[in-house]
Structure 1
Amino acid sequence: MNINYKNFQVDKNLPLLICDADEVLFEFMHSFERYLNENNMYFTYKSFKLSGNIYTKDNNDIIKESRIPNIISDFFKNYTSKMPLIIGAKETLNTLKKHLNIIILSNIPEESANDRICLLKKNDMDYNFISNKGPKGEICKELEKLTNNKVFFIDDLPNQIKSVKLNTTKITTIHFLQNKKLLEIIPRVKYSDFNAKNWDEIKKIILNNI
């Protein structure tokens, strides 16, 4: 886990937004499907997880779960620097940064973290950044100490929403998902304070609650 948050320039009197990156700021699944196609594989969208959904094109064999970490690592190595932004992400954060501090908390392989930072800067989104591994509840428990004000957390994964809600005391959780294929298969999100399907909705939620 890459944590240098104690050196972040954060105004303790302003609210704090902790924001995921993949499928929140960047089009993860569209990019991942392109990667799979280029490597003779495809994704079935049978369930809301990677294992059990990746098959070979040649003979429709399921990819073994043991291979998935290497596939994900190779994907990030080749695609982190060129993932397209999700509509409204850049503009909304540009508006919100006038009202709160922003930290990008991204579960990404450490070797690809710098590519992500560079792409954020390239898109004029030079926010505080932390690369994480696993559940985000513990790190968010530390990050909420950076402000005396309200804290918001955005993620597309129900398990991360749950992790943050169960490990923190004052964080407002926002589940965000705009990918239509994923919306059809996602399990019920039980621990979110709010749910959003586009960045306009996120902006309204935050501005109405700070």
Structure 2
Amino acid sequence: MSDDPETARQIAELASDDRPLLVLDVDEVVLEFVQPFMRYLESIDLELGLATFSLFQNVVRRSDRQKVEPSEVAEHLDTFFAVQAEWQTAAADAAETIARLSRNAEIVMLTAMPHRHRPVRRAHLDALGFPYPLLTTEMPKGPAILKLRGPDKRPVAFVDDIPKNLLSVRDFVADAHLVNLMSYGAMRAVMPPLPADIAVADDWKTAAPSIEKALGI
């Protein structure tokens, strides 16, 4: 099952695979996001602060320091996704590390973004050396990963920067190995505390060993 019917449709198109499953968020995990988005906002005279762990509550106008309404931030984010190839680069060591893991595991990228941006993101990931299947979702990620796992209890690992996404997966796939990875480490200072059973990694070099152990590869 999946709460998002379009995500379920995308999952149904995937070829069957019984290898251990590694599901990866894209922004801040596979691609740099926070710093490129900061630069994008600066180009339109806006600024993202780090007062709280919230993308939509911390944008101000550089000219007068007035807060930008979340609805307007959402519009800027939507525009950013449309031109992401001009701003986003691969996270450090991501391409090499994921390629190594893909020799013995099924890799699927699961990104929380409007479905209409999937073709642009697909092309950009391909250009950066990430040819793995890409799913988009506009709903919580837990149901999608439960469906991706399939009926067999194969090992599952999931890497994401957002606590609520990791917790969603834990609710649906209780034995999944969960890893919190953030390319822009400064966000950790304002991030809510993580449960003890979620591994924390500062980069791909530190994330890989625990993933390999959890997946048995």
Query: Structure 1-normalised TM-score?
Result: 0.93
Please give the secondary structure, in 2, of the residue aligned with 1:178.
coil
Q: CA RMSD in A?
A: 1.7
Show the counterpart of 1:8: 14
Deviations 1:36-93 (A, max 9, x none): 0011100111011013210001111000122222121111112245411110110011
> 1:177 corresponds to which letter in structure 2?
M
Please give the secondary structure, in 1, of the residue aligned with 2:145.
helix
Task: Judge conservation of contact 1:81–1:116 (CA < 8 Å) in 2.
Answer: no
Please give the secondary structure, in 2, of the residue aligned with 1:195.
strand
Once the two structures are overlaid, the 10-residue window that deviates more, 98-107 or 200-209, is 200-209
Runs (4+) of structure 1 moved beyond 4 Å?
none
Show the counterpart of 2:33: 28
Please give the secondary structure, in 2, of the residue aligned with 1:61.
coil
Correspondences of 1:130-141 after superposition (within 5 Å): 130-141=135-146
> 1:32 corresponds to which letter in structure 2?
F
Query: Structure 2-normalised TM-score?
Result: 0.90
Give ranges in structure 1 of 5+ residues lacking alignment: none
Show the counterpart of 1:186: 191
Show the counterpart of 1:150: 155
Once the two structures are overlaid, the 10-residue window that deviates more, 39-48 or 190-199, is 190-199
The aligned length equals 209
Distance across 2 between alignment mates of 1:39 and 1:107:
24
Task: Judge conservation of contact 1:16–1:147 (CA < 8 Å) in 2.
Answer: no
**Cα distance change, pair 136–91 in 1 and its aligned pair in 2 (3 A):** same
Q: Percent identity?
A: 22
Please give the secondary structure, in 2, of the residue aligned with 1:182.
helix
